[in-house]
Each structure stands twice: as structure tokens, then as C-alpha cells.
Amino acid sequence: MRIQVLHYVCFVVSVVASTFRCALPETFESQKDCSSSTQESQSETMSGFFGKLDDRVESANSLLCIGLDPHMKEVFPDGWDDKSEEEKCDAAYTFCKTLIDATALYAACYKPNAAFFEALGSNLGVATLERVIKSIPKYIPVLLDVKRGDIGSTASAYAEACYDIGADAVTLSPLMGWDSVSPFVTGKYSSKGAFILCKTSNPGSNDILALDLKSGEAVYERIANLAGKWSSLADGTEETCTTPRLGLVVGATDPEALKRARKAAGPNVWILAPGVGAQGGDLLDAARAGLNAAGTGMLIPVSRGISKAANPGEAAL
């Protein structure tokens, strides 16, 4: 029912965007690399994806990132083996459009997951993804969840494929270095943004991302620190206080890692914090660890918590 969906959304929005502004980390009170006046002037002049995100967060008073993940078991609860590619694509579009219509007032960002659309079929799957992206109101940023990671002409081809269908930003793996990230945020794509995988919400992330380096920092802390440096490279500057081009993906399932990643990245880097709800992440703990001193700088992705609400079709009416 519409009330069930909207009550859930309003709860997340009110808790994350308002209540937690009173429970901010003390870490940044002593940080001097970017003063509050500098942050204010940046918000006035910032352009590109992160500027669009800042504007939307402020206007919607929300940090809610709505995942658009058309799982076939949700789209066709009774089975889909007998469905044609066209039927699956049409149903997936309706599924996503229903969520968009029900949450557009509250969404700071939408995050379609490319894999679910690619799996719909080689003929219409990507076209359906593009159709969904184009149905999102223009003033709401679109973060395409693709987790690409390659270099050279392959990375450039990936970037073109993502942005040609309307994405404002993407998720990326940073493990091949700046070479694998730069094609997505420089040149003709300098207005775009990317969130790089830093400390993901799955338990297996500890296998690599939590390893300690000789410097004494964990791998994920090094990645968090690189986000600011790579943003400076994208801008062609050496300043540490810069308009961000890159954000981080840090799971809400590990508040300590979230806190350490925030400290390493600084207050201006946006963090996408998946894992609240179905994966066991605690919203309050995540917000205390990941929000910056302004009570922002972190997106809370929610997908199944909304898409599995009773009668989502009626919720869009």
C-alpha cells in the first residue's frame, strides 16, 4: 500500500537527514583543511554530479538513495521461465517506474544496478535500463551501479557505455589505480562522478580491503585517502580542498571502518553506505560514523526495503 511505502521512506529520510544532524562525529571539529566558509562557497559554485547531488539533498532534505534492482523473483513471483525477453523487460520497467513514482519526492539519488538489466536479455536489456534512467526526473541524480575496473581504451569504452544511456555517475573498482578511474571523470566526462569501492558491506571484503599496509593503515584507508588526491588530479590541481569528483563505497555493516574511512577521506568526500537493513547494518551507528560535521556527505541506499513493500503497484497510483 502507498502508506506503507511512504512511511518507510519518510522514516529513513527523517532519521538520516534530520535526527542524526544532532549526533555528528567530533572528528571534524578540529579539521582545518576546509573551513565551514570554504564548504559554503564550494556548495554555491560546485558543478557536475556532486553539485547536482548537493542541490538535491538540500531541496529534498534527504540522504536516501533508492536502488532500482529488478530481481526476477520480485518482478515475477510465480516464475519467469516462460516469459519472453520483451515481457521481462516490460515488467522490469514497470517495476522500476513504480518505485520511482512512489519515491521521487524523497529520493536524493537513484541507483539502478546494471547487472539486473543486462540479465534481461541481449536484445532489450540495456535499452530497458536506458528507458528507466530517462524516466527519472532530471533534477534527481542517477548513479549507475556497474563496478567497472579496467584501463585504457577498455575503461574509456565502459565510460561511454555508461554515460551514453544517461547516467550521472558510476561505481568503480579502484584496484587498478588512477588509470582505471580517470576515463570516467576527466575530459568530456569531467562533469560526471564516481564512487570507488573502499570497504564494501560483504564479509569477504576483509580478505583484501582490511589488510594492513606497512604504513600502518588498512587498504581501505589508503583508498579513502586517494579519493581526494584523485579528485585533485581530475581537476588538474594540487590543492587538498577541491570540488570532489569521487566518492567512496563503505559498508554500513562495519561502523569502525566507516569511521576510519571518513577520517582518511576528510569531510568533503561523499560516502555511499550500503548494508542498512537486509545486510544487518545499523542506521544510527552508520550515521554517527559516516556523516560529516555538516550532517551530510553520506548516502543511504535502500532497495529491497521499499521494493518488497506490500502492493508496490498500488503505491505508484
3-state secondary structure 232-293: HHHHCCCCCCCCCCEEEEECCCCHHHHHHHHHHHCCCCCEECCCECCCCECHHHHHHHHCCC
In 10 A of CB 212, how many CB atoms? 10
The three cell numbers of residue 205 are 571484503
Cβ-based neighbours of 299, under 8 Å, separated by 6 or more: 63, 64, 65, 108, 109, 270, 271, 272, 273
Q: Does residue 229 carry a catalytic annotation?
A: no
Helix ranges (H only) for the chain are 2-17, 36-45, 48-60, 72-75, 85-103, 114-118, 125-134, 152-163, 178-181, 219-235, 255-265, 283-290, 304-307, 312-315
CA distance 260 to 246: 17
Q: Using CA atoms, how far apart are residues 76 and 294, in angstroms rounded to an integer?
A: 42
CA 302, CA 283: separation in Å to the nearest integer? 11
Rg for the chain, CA atoms, rounded: 19
Please give the Cα distance from 205 to 173 (Å, whole number): 13
Q: Which residues contact 28 (CB under 8 A, 6 or more apart)?
A: 267, 292, 293
Given the residues 83, 97, 147, 263, select the one marked as catalytic: 147
Which residues are annotated as catalytic?
A: 147
